[in-house]
Amino acid sequence: GDETFEAHRRRKEKKILRIRQGKMGVGSGSNGKRYNVAVLGAAGGIGQPLCLLLTGSPYVKKLHLYDVIPLVNGVAADLSHVNEPVEVCGFAGDLKDAQVSKEKLQECLQGMDVVLIPAGIPRKPGMTRADLFAVNGKIVANLIENIAEVCPKTMICIISNPVNSTVPIAAEVLKKKGVYDPKRLFGVSTLDVVRSDKFIGEKIQRSPQEVDITVIGGHSGTTILPLLSHVKPALSAEDIDKLTTRVQNAGTEVVEAKAGGGSATLSMAYAAHRFATSVMKGLSGESVVECAYVQSSLVGELPFFASPVKLGQEGIAEILPLPVMSAYEQEKLEKEVKTPLKASIEQGVTFAASL
């Protein structure tokens, strides 16, 4: 047994040497750069699994967790035991004391490169994303106000629903503070892509990793438009219709399956981690493309729109032109995406003006 132990020890020493020389993926992105990331709403259903994934990320140096419940300190303590080189720190606000919350939040935001916002109340059965609007709109506006004061140059990634409205709210708050940079504000619509890749992969019997569906529009109901006409082997018109509906209703599918126990938290955390990773890859100089809900002029009357964007060191390096669409997709865009999405955007802008 001694010899195998010796061989094992030698392998381990070689590995440690490689880590020290920066040749291993441990503790560094593609060029050795690592970033400070904050998760606001870190003790929630999305926040906890998202923080777990980020703790294992080679792109993350410091991970700051903020929430308004004391549990967040426990989540941070728990994650700080994971043997990864990420430094984890918790910051607990207080629902009864706005001043304490502000101080803790601002402390949490100090020096952050990327801020992910899953804060808010989740959907329950029978609730629409609109029901979330009043509560989550206020929460997002408050968090963004503090970001504007502490780290206005950070990459802001909004997960709190309804994203179609919370992103325009964030933009308006940043404008009021005079620090709005549309290249640094994202609505995370990655879950629509993740679901599309998975469902279509199952249908055409390919690994979801080999499928890359472009999803445009917004991030709820009929505003979600996966461009399935590009799938090879081609899908039948009937399958395209069924799969489009399934992607659009996938959030509700999970809400109902959890029967009052929550909404899509784990898949959302997975998708948010993927998006955050792409943002950090962009920051470190890699060229990455992800679909995201951003300020855009692709569709005239819609000031915000989800589509493929190229990420870089300043955030959005380029909003890519829309791919060619089938007649079915064009009709969906005209009849089912534009009106509700425009209304959601206007609702967000009006709400921000009333604050």
Q: Is 46 marked within a binding site?
A: yes
- Catalytic annotation on 230? no
Q: Is 164 marked within a binding site?
A: no
Q: Which residues pair with 214 in a beta bridge?
A: none
* DSSP-derived secondary structure letter, 311: E
**CA 119/CA 71 separation, integer angstroms:** 14
Q: Is 45 marked within a binding site?
A: yes
Q: Is 171 marked within a binding site?
A: no
Task: Give me the sign of the Cα torsion angle 47, 48, 49, 54.
Answer: positive
* DSSP-derived secondary structure letter, 220: S
Q: Is 161 marked within a binding site?
A: yes
**CA 98/CA 107 separation, integer angstroms:** 14
Task: Give SS3 for 56.
Answer: coil
Q: Is 317 marked within a binding site?
A: no
Catalytic entry in 8, 81, 219, 273: 219
Q: Is 224 marked within a binding site?
A: no
Q: Is 20 marked within a binding site?
A: no
> Which element (helix H / strand E) includes 43?
none
C-alpha distance from residue 204 to each of 133, 231, 267, 325 (Å): 37, 9, 21, 20
Q: Is 212 marked within a binding site?
A: no
Q: Is 195 marked within a binding site?
A: yes
Residue 302's contacts (CB-CB under 8 Å, 6 or more residues apart) are 296, 338, 341, 342, 345
Q: Is 136 marked within a binding site?
A: yes
Task: Give SS3 for 273.
Answer: helix
Binding residues for NAD(+): 41-47, 67, 136, 159-161, 268
List, by residue number, the catalytic residues.
Answer: 219
Binding residues: 41-47, 67, 123, 129, 136, 159-161, 195, 268
Binding residues for substrate: 123, 129, 161, 195
